[in-house]
Each structure stands twice: as structure tokens, then as C-alpha cells.
Amino acid sequence: MLDGETVVHENDAAQAIRLRALYQIDEMDLERIRSLGSALDGKIDAAVARFYEWMRPLPEFNEYLSDPAVLERVRRLQVAYWVDFLRGVIDAEFVASRRSLGAIHARIGLPLDTYLGGMNSFLMTFSEVASESDSDSFDTSHVTSLSKVLHLDTAIVIDEYNAITKTIIAEQGDALMEMSTPVTEVWADILMLPIVGVIDSRRSMEIMNTMLSKIAETRAHVAILDISGVAVIDTAVANHLIKVTRATRLMGCECLISGVSPAIAQTMVELGIDVGTVRTTATLQDALGMAFHVTGHTVQREA
């Protein structure tokens, strides 16, 4: 559990009320948490120490906490975390702090099973420490209340963890998508885009947007889509490619599709795909030759 900026959102207060109702946490539960906090007064350090005894054999300990300075800082933060937990207050600030924790865990890549195992370890540790205390008021009702609030706490962290993870994956996907659509001006007035892998609707839109932007930037007259790296061509993929060629033509740019293998040609015929006026070639060399003809370039071999 590492430190980070905690920002309270407008809906955090409403979220706190909703979660309290969802987990059936009433004022009596929170009072039991506060009485548990009193029973554990001065013993949080011991409980946290027990947690690190549990965690030390795990590979995550060496990965995240091998530096003694980092370990000490995280230990202090963890003590503060549980002191705040045992105040028995579930409000906007409580929700915001747990969201912050979930975001931090997601960004450092802490596995969820390790986090959940740690929370379970704390639940058992607190139960043991409290039962060993001199308080006669600690009973099973306190364990029930502790479990409720702990589950609520964990749910907030996991929800934010999942949200941040999805965002990171989406950003990585966008970065890979940009890397997978490298439109290059291979000659004056001639663009080329080699396509490798799978073409779906999202990627076809990226291809179209990238190609049209490059055409607008360079005012190219010919664009070559090389599909020799596309393993599977079906009706959907063919339709995506046809849409790209039509869009480029609307911008005054002729689109050629190269790399049509015998297998791809046979598949397109068997599927009854009508490529219409789309110009295709078997090789990139043929496509370049056609592009030179369209643009009026003449290439001669040196003697």
C-alpha cells in the first residue's frame, strides 16, 4: 500500500451511502469497529508486523519491498491506513482514499490475489489480536461487523483497480494500434501502409483515419495497402478494405491493394466477395509499378 494523492469526487459521498446500504452496515456495526479500534489501541504496529511475517516468503515481497527504506515507508502508511479504518467512519473521504489505493495497486501491477490474501491475513490478525486483548466486549458480532466493513473497503479498491487496469490496457491498445498503422510516403505522391495481423472494425477505422490524414497532409495521388501480412480474409475484412479504398478515392487518391495471395484470392471468390473497382496486385512490386504509372513516374535501371 503506497502513498498517492487522494482526490474526493462529487459522487463519493453518495457512493459511501450506497455501499453502506449494500453491505448492510449500520451505526451499530461502525460502533463495533470503533470499539475494536479501542481494543487494538497501541497494537496496530504488532498487527502490521504479523502481516509482513505472512508476506515475507511471497515473491511479491522481494519485488516490491526489498528496499528497507521503501518497506519502512509502506509500513508507516499501512499503520495509518488501519488507524483510519478503525475510526469507524464511512464517508466521502473514506471512499476517495480507497479509490486512490486501488489506482496505486493497479499502476504498480500488484496482483489482486496478493492484495486479497493480504486483506484476509489482516482480518485473521485483527481477530487474534483483539481476542488476546483485555477487552471483555469483543465477541462474534465484532467479527461480523469487521468483515462487513472490510468487504466494503476491498470492493472499492478492486473496482478502482479494475477501472484503472482497463484504462491502461486501452491506452496500450491505442499505442499498439498507432504502431501497427505506419503510413509511409515511399515516393513522391505515393503512400504505402503494410498491414499485419487481424483487421477488425476498430482497426479498420484506425487504418482509414490514419490513411486519410496522411493523404491530406501529403496530397498523395496513390495509396498502397499491402495485405501480405494478413492471415485471414473473410467478408468482414474485405468490406473493411473496400471502405478504405472508397474513402481514399473520395479524397482524389487511388488506392491499390497488394499482397493478394492465391489463397486469399480463392477465399474471396468462394465467399462471393465483390471487390468492384478495387485494383489489386499479387505483389508489392507490381503495386509500385502501377503506382508509378498512375503518377507518371518513370524508373529506369542503371546500366
Dump pLDDT digits (tens) for 242-272: 889 999 999 999 999 999 888 888 888 877 7
Neighbours of 234 (CB within 10 A): 12
Q: What is the pTM of this model?
A: 0.59
- Torsion angle defined by CA atoms of residues 244, 250, 256 and 259, in that order, rounded to the nearest 10 degrees: 0
pLDDT digits (tens, 9 = 90+) for 11-23: 999 999 999 999 9
Cβ 172 vs Cβ 154: under 8 Å: no
Pick from 255, 235, 237: nearest CA to 245: 255
Pick from 100, 106, 112, 99: nearest CA to 169: 106
Domains of the chain by range and CATH? 12-175 (1.10.490.10), 184-295 (3.30.750.24)
Establish how many alpha carbons lie within 13 A of residue 9's alpha carbon, considering only the half-sphere containing its beta carbon: 11
Q: In Å, how far are 89, 148, 271 from 25, measured between CA atoms? A: 11, 7, 60
Length, in residues, of the chain: 303
In the predicted model, is pLDDT for residue 168 greater than 90? no
